[in-house]
Chains A and B, each alone.
Chain A
Amino acid sequence: QVQLVESGGGVVQPGTSLRLSCEASGFTFSTYGMHWVRQAPGKGLEWVSIISYDGNTKYYADSVKGRFTISRDNSKNTLYLQMNSLRAEDTAVYYCAKGGVIVLDSWGQGSLVIVSS
């Protein structure tokens, strides 16, 4: 079955960087687009970014554009989110999700990022 396992979260200071990873198994990773979605404490879901199956196409929410970079290594079945210039408002649980053409059909358990001085 599909498994997505995020890692790399933690507590960081404003202005610093962090890289999240999402290790995928149970499906042919290299044939699916992948997404990051986040959820601030007590708040709703916010779509963050998408990367195409081959890594050639990427889109970002306006709130993270220019600061976050999505990437993937299909040889390692792993998705990444490089987060730079972190702000307090980036504090959230970050989920990776497997994307069908139009839907997020499988989700990881999430990785908590806290940005605080």
Chain B
Amino acid sequence: DIQMTQSPSSLSASVGDRVTITCRTSQSISSSLNWYQQKPGKAPKLLIFAASNLQSGVPSRFSASGSETDFTLTISSLQPEDFATYYCQQSYSTLWTFGQGTKVEVK
């Protein structure tokens, strides 16, 4: 199985901060990497697909980049509604896997 490592596991930030989350995979996955946001008690929501493509309806302050084994999700100016947990997920192999999550908390 392809292993996913997100960092950090959690971070504290303030409204307006620039936030960066990284995801590293145990083998090359080309651009088959997606990002999801999950708020407590809710289902995950797709933010970014295929490494860098913004899902329809997602604010442009979210962006992502990367390929092969190293990927990044950036929130350019953190908003109150962005405090949540973020997951990366690979769809390169037949057995999909998620990163362990990054919790973005209020500083």
Residues of A within 8 A of B (CB): 35, 37, 44-47, 50, 59-62, 95, 100-110
Contacts and interface: CB of A to CB of B under 8 A. Distances in A.
Contacts of B62: none
Does more than half of chain A's interface fall in helix, strand or loop, or is it mixed? strand
B83 interface: no
Nearest to B97: A47
Interface of B: 1, 32, 34, 36, 38, 43-46, 49-50, 55, 85, 87, 89, 91, 94-101
Nearest to B87: A45
B49 A103 contact: yes
A95 to B, nearest CB: 6
A46 B32 contact: no
Nearest to B92: A102
A59 to B, nearest CB: 5
B91 A45 contact: no
Given A103-B49, A103-B50, A104-B34, A47 B43 contact: no
B82 to A, nearest CB: 18
A62 B87 contact: no
A62 B96 CA distance: 11
Contact of B96 (A44, A47, A105, A106): A47
